[in-house]
Amino acid sequence: MIPRERPHFTRYTAGTIVQVNGIGPLTINYQLCPSLIASRGAKVSLLKHLEIKTVANLRRLDLATLEGRFGRYGVRLYELARGIDNSEVVPDRPTQSISAEDTFEQDVLLAEMEPMIRKLAEHAWTASRKESRIARTVVLKLKTSEFKILTRSHTPASPLSSCEELTNIALSLRERVGLRPQQRFRLVGVGLSNFHDPADASAQPALFS
């Protein structure tokens, strides 16, 4: 699919790289030069070093250059910068999951995440209220400072009844992370999954994973 005439796509031309789905500064930094960010606290942006600050900048790089720097992912960057996505469009596909996540400017401890988890839970809850189907499972997603992704989830005995309940479950899932207290994280996300029709939702058993 090539959105040639979609107004909301053209605004990305002057937007920052992080506005393109799938492109995150830290991820790109890591792929370009792992040694540069291997040391603790190194947050140097290679995109800035390469003077690639916007999608318009990215568009000026040809396919060969991007593929040479990023490998196979360079092809994807080339396509995203031009609004090219050959994924099949499936209209009215039922929602499978909803999530909200954010990357910290500086890596943080698990104990310091409560304000962000509360904020993300509110975003996820608000989005879920627009769905006719009901989410049964709460998911906490984390990415460590070493780029390891882990998730913890819980399916309560009955469907969620409030944003407060969602928030409390998401906060409690931190207790099952199981890493040392000094471990730092760069990303946290709160999600809802396991969607069911209202008539079926109440029949699901409690489940931890």
Ordered structural domains, the chain, with CATH: 7-81 (1.10.150), 97-208 (3.30.1490.100)
> Residues 75-106, buried b or exposed e (16+ Cβ, 10 A)?
ebbbebbebeeeeeeeeeeeeeebebbebbee
Residue type, 164: E
Q: How confident is the model at residue 117 (pLDDT cuts 50, 70, 90)?
A: very high
pLDDT digits (tens, 9 = 90+) for 37-82: 333 333 334 455 567 767 777 788 889 888 887 778 778 888 888 8
- Position 91 scores a pLDDT of 63
pLDDT digits (tens, 9 = 90+) for 145-172: 999 999 999 999 999 999 999 999 999 9
- Position 47 scores a pLDDT of 53
pTM of the entire structure? 0.56
Q: How confident is the model at residue 186 (pLDDT cuts 50, 70, 90)?
A: very high
